[in-house]
Amino acid sequence: MPPCPFLALSDRLRLTGRKQPLPLHQSAEAFLRLLQTERGAPTPTPLRFRQVAQSIRQTGTYSLTPAELNYGCRLAWRNSVRCVGRFFWSKLDVIDARHLHTEEEIYQACLDHLTHATRHGDIRSTITIFPPADSRGHGPRIWNYQLSRYAGYRLGKKQILGDPAEADFTDLCLRLGWKPPKKRTAFDLLPLVISLHDKKPRLFPPPKKATLEVPIRHPDSSCLDSLRLRWFALPVVSNMKLEIGGLSFPAAPFSGWYMETEIGARNFADENRYHLLPEIARRLRLDTSRPTTLWKDRALVELNRAVLHSFAQAKVRMIDHHSATASHLRFEEDEAQAGRPVFGRWDWLIPPLSGSLTKLWPRSYNPTEFSPNFLTQKRLY
Ligand code: ARG
């Protein structure tokens, strides 16, 4: 019996467990064939297949048409096994910035991404794509994990002011000559660090004007006010590489909107991040003398309520973990309708708060990754 064409195709698109990347012409062909199987995607003609093959033969590479890039980005999102927000995969603003070449232009496009995607709180899922890597895998890089993040200043051996997750990156910025604000706080935006090909990284001012921030307050008490907590509205992941049809885009910042637990249950609560639960519990006058009072759990819920309440007050789009997981279930149903399997990482899809209250809890997921996708890449500092 001849092999099932879908299986053959999905096998060529599989990234997990592949020792060597496929030759470019094979990845390119697999991507074009994938487009042909998708409703709503551009349909590559036989001529397009020949053009791509010829371009690879003659120049060693090829470029995606705007329509291919557009749909490829949506597929990369849909294939992201860690993302609980994939119900919205087909609604994505794709900003084609492949023609930008200088560090200044890339910096400006990052600021434009922030403004466009934030829309004063009416957040739109957005990706900006900078030029692809060359055959040696070199291309532009944004060194920041996200376009907006807070510095973590080392005070002593162990103590850090700000976000401990950014301590190494903050060190790098200081080495590169960054002058932080005179009065340092726990919420100072970091500068952007951008490099071209193999060139030295360059430092650009923190995206202050383009970053919308939300002051965090508790809905029914002023007990958090004097902590002056805040968080930015838009998470723009900028250190992953986008892979489509064998081409890789090492700088392709993308953003959606926050789920409250990302901030309330992780950024603020993790012991190696802002580690706020003991202070919140004190302010809520909880009995912290022993674990059995569940003071951590209670403080965690109040902190997440504060995050949801504050974003709502500021009219910044955010999703709660009940709605987000419910939407993922709808995504799974839509995909089943379309005859496609859904892959996922259970440990990422389950929210870090009340996991067993969500419909995803009893399900199991196969974590295999397919192309197009977003991949981690080597840290440069
Ligand atoms: N978890 C990361 C953070 O807390 C953001 C990752 C992307 N999140 C998103 N909702 N698109 O900043």
What CATH number is associated with residue 225? 3.90.1230.10
Catalytic position from the list 89, 143, 231, 257: 257
Cβ within 8 Å of residue 28, ≥6 positions away:
52, 53, 56, 62, 245, 246, 247
Residue 110 in marked binding region: no
pLDDT in tens, 334-374: 999 999 999 999 999 999 999 999 999 999 999 999 999 99
Note if 86 is an active site residue: yes
User: In the prediction, which pLDDT does 74 show?
Assistant: 98
CB 204 within 8 A of CB 238: no
Residue 373 amino acid letter: N
Q: Is 259 in the pocket of ligand 1 (CB under 6 A)?
A: yes
- State which ligand 1 atom lies nearest to the alpha carbon of 146: 12
Total residues found in the chain within this entry: 381
Note if 68 is an active site residue: no
**227 part of a folded domain:** yes
Q: Is 186 in the pocket of ligand 1 (CB under 6 A)?
A: no
Q: Is 150 in the pocket of ligand 1 (CB under 6 A)?
A: no
**299 part of a folded domain:** yes
Å from CA of 337 to ligand 1 middle: 29
Burial of 64 (C-beta count, 10 Å sphere; 0-12/13-18/19+): buried
Burial of 38 (C-beta count, 10 Å sphere; 0-12/13-18/19+): middle
- State which ligand 1 atom lies nearest to the alpha carbon of 254: 11
**181 part of a folded domain:** no
Which residue, among 213, 141, 208, 205, has the nearest Cα to 173 in the 3D structure?
Answer: 205
Q: Is 206 in the pocket of ligand 1 (CB under 6 A)?
A: no
**97 part of a folded domain:** no
- State which ligand 1 atom lies nearest to the alpha carbon of 266: 4
Share of the chain above pLDDT 90, in %: 96
Q: Is 237 in the pocket of ligand 1 (CB under 6 A)?
A: yes
Å from CA of 93 to ligand 1 middle: 18
Which residue, among 75, 121, 68, 66, has the nearest Cα to 95 in the 3D structure?
Answer: 66
User: In the prediction, which pLDDT does 365 show?
Assistant: 98
Q: Is 262 in the pocket of ligand 1 (CB under 6 A)?
A: yes
Q: Is 160 helix (H, G, I), strand (E, B) or coil?
A: strand
User: In the prediction, which pLDDT does 4 show?
Assistant: 63
Note if 257 is an active site residue: yes
CB 125 within 8 A of CB 234: no
Range of the domain at 290: 213-235+256-315
Q: Where are the alpha helices (DSSP H) in the chain?
A: 5-13, 24-37, 46-59, 66-78, 103-118, 167-175, 260-261, 277-283, 295-313, 321-337, 346-349
**306 part of a folded domain:** yes
The whole-number average pLDDT for the span 269-285 is 98
Q: Count of domains in the chain?
A: 1
Query: Residue of the nearest CA to atom 3 in ligand 1?
Result: 262
Q: How far apart are CA 77 and CA 304, in angstroms?
A: 26
**289 part of a folded domain:** yes
Q: How far apart are CA 274 and CA 298, in angstroms?
A: 17
Query: Residue of the nearest CA to atom 7 in ligand 1?
Result: 235
User: In the prediction, which pLDDT does 8 show?
Assistant: 86
User: In the prediction, which pLDDT does 205 show?
Assistant: 98
Residue 3 has pLDDT above 70, yes or no: no
Share of the chain above pLDDT 70, in %: 98
Confidence at 11, pLDDT banded by 50, 70, 90:
very high
Who has greater pLDDT, 116 or 3?
116
Catalytic position from the list 38, 105, 213, 262: 262
- State which ligand 1 atom lies nearest to the alpha carbon of 258: 10
Query: Residue of the nearest CA to atom 6 in ligand 1?
Result: 235
The whole-number average pLDDT for the span 7-15 is 91
Who has greater pLDDT, 6 or 112?
112
**266 part of a folded domain:** yes
- State which ligand 1 atom lies nearest to the alpha carbon of 149: 12
**137 part of a folded domain:** no
User: In the prediction, which pLDDT does 47 show?
Assistant: 98
User: In the prediction, which pLDDT does 194 show?
Assistant: 98
Residue 93 has pLDDT above 90, yes or no: yes
Catalytic position from the list 12, 74, 78, 86: 86
Long-range CB contacts (within 8 A, 24+) of 26-29: 26/246, 27/245, 27/246, 27/371, 28/52, 28/53, 28/56, 28/62, 28/245, 28/246, 28/247, 29/53
Q: How far apart are CA 130 and CA 307, in angstroms?
A: 33
Å from CA of 5 to ligand 1 middle: 36
What pTM was computed for the model? 0.97
Distance between first and last Cα of the chain: 52
